[in-house]
Amino acid sequence: MTSLHAFRDDALGEHDAVALAELVRDGSVSPQELAAAAIERARAVDPQLDAVACAIYDAPRYHSRSDAALYGVPTFVKDNSDVAGLPTNHGSEAFRARPAAKNGAYTDQFLGTGLTLLGKSRLPEFGFNATTEFMTEPPARNPWDLDRSIGASSGGSAALVAAGVVPIAHANDGGGSIRIPAACGGLVGLKPSRGRHIDGEQVRHVPIHMISEGVLTRTVRDTAAFVAAAENVWRNPKLAPIGEVLGPAQRRLRVGLLTHSVTGAEVDASTRAAVEHTATLLEKAGHVVEPIALPVTEQFAADFVQYWALLADLAVSTGKLILDRSFDAAATDGLTRGLRAHHRRNLHRTPAALRRLQRIPATYARLFAQSEVVVSPVLSHTTPPLGHIAPTVPFPELIDRLTRYVSYTPLNNIAGTPAVSLPMGRTPDGLPVGVQLSAAYGDERTLIELAYLLEAEQPFPRIQEQATNSSTR
């Protein structure tokens, strides 16, 4: 296996975003120096990672207010969110977008935290897949092992953060797209509650709102700092504020342990070990951990696939109107075409599936009458080799592999509840394994507090150490 990282003795060093922002504030380093170091790192490793969709290295965009919490820290925006003057291609080979006229609403909130924009990161077509792979273009690669998937749909952002190009990058999550690449890349990936941040424009065109905006980071405090900074830009008045979370809380919680998914997919040994180890650490800290069962059946999985397929049908059917007149439905990838065909074959099932999915928030909330937090796998198995779930795989085989692999994350999207992926395990060959913590709607604070506890009990894996034990390019 071949790993790759960009860490070096430069202005970025091995600092996280919080540390870099502090260095900028005390005058030890300038935003320009940080941007230059990140650009040099990107140029060094992205030819192998293929994580960048669009670069603006010649003209980084610096925030105008030096008092913003993360002022001067370099970053990338995922290429399904509009950035003024840059194309938004949604990972698709079916069209070539024109430059956006203005920033998307969430882009403004994200960059309003003070971050310096260096470009946009890659995602699979429309964010539908759980790997950042394409029909003809090269895949985004996992820096822990260049022959493996980095997950998706925020795969480009995950690769850049995991490799050390930047400490924080934009991500969003409609079925696991923050948590999956976090699990594959050894990162912290918090999917916020529905409505916690300003919604991206794509939410306006879907019948069930299941997309949350957020970030990928290497440390819990970076995620916590971003959440607090984003609330200072805009806060949903319908949700209690999270505020600044600086460490674990002293309260003891009832924790539900979940190891069986709605699809019945078998969990591999490394993943099960990571979940059980996390449960042991929580018990050691005084929390009460008890096994639980989900209050939903396999019907949920079928309904989610039907909705997923509806979204693919809508994306293709409205492509020329919403995306670009150049949109060519025949040039969409194998997963998009397969999902669309699945929806059209089963069109009569859509109304009932939507009705059942709309009842999920109330059903799922029952879990949190008995547990404040649920611990589970993020994925049923560790990150697969490139090609295993590529859009070139025949659709019947591909959809079977995907529904088995991604069997834990979608429930939080439909329920609208927060969940976080933490790198709590390793495979025998050193790849990171993610564990998911989920909480009741609006309770991100509890997840961040527990994440601090677990990070302190078991420091997260460092790719620099992995590289010393494997061949490195």
Q: Which amino acid type is present at position 320?
A: K
- Is there a catalytic annotation at residue 78? yes
245, 224 Cβ separation under 8 angstroms:
yes
Active-site pick, 81, 92, 153, 157: 153
Q: Which residue has the tokens 């342990």?
A: 257
Length of the chain counted residue by residue: 473
Q: In whole angstroms, what is the distance from residue 49 CA to residue 124 CA?
A: 14
Q: How far apart are CA 259 and CA 420, in angstroms?
A: 16
CA gap 174, 168 in Å, rounded: 20
Which pair of tokens denotes residue 302? 């079928």
As a whole number of angstroms, the distance between CA 142 and CA 125 comes to 18
Which residue is catalytic, options 3, 78, 157, 270? 78
Q: Annotated catalytic residue: which of 177, 261, 270, 421?
A: 177
Assigned token pair, 208: 């069930």
* Residue 376 CB partners (closer than 8 Å, separation 6+): 257, 258, 259, 261, 275, 408, 435, 436, 438
- For every residue of 286-324, DSSP letters joined together read T-EEEE---S--HHHHHHHHHHHHHHHHHHHHTIIIII-
Considering Cα of 424, then 162, then 242, then 238, what sign does the dihedral take?
negative
On whether the CB atoms of residues 310 and 346 are closer than 8 A, the answer is no
Residue whose entry in the numeric block shows the structure tokens 């380093």: 29
CA distance linking residue 178 with residue 229, whole number of Å: 19
Could you list the active site residues?
78, 153, 177
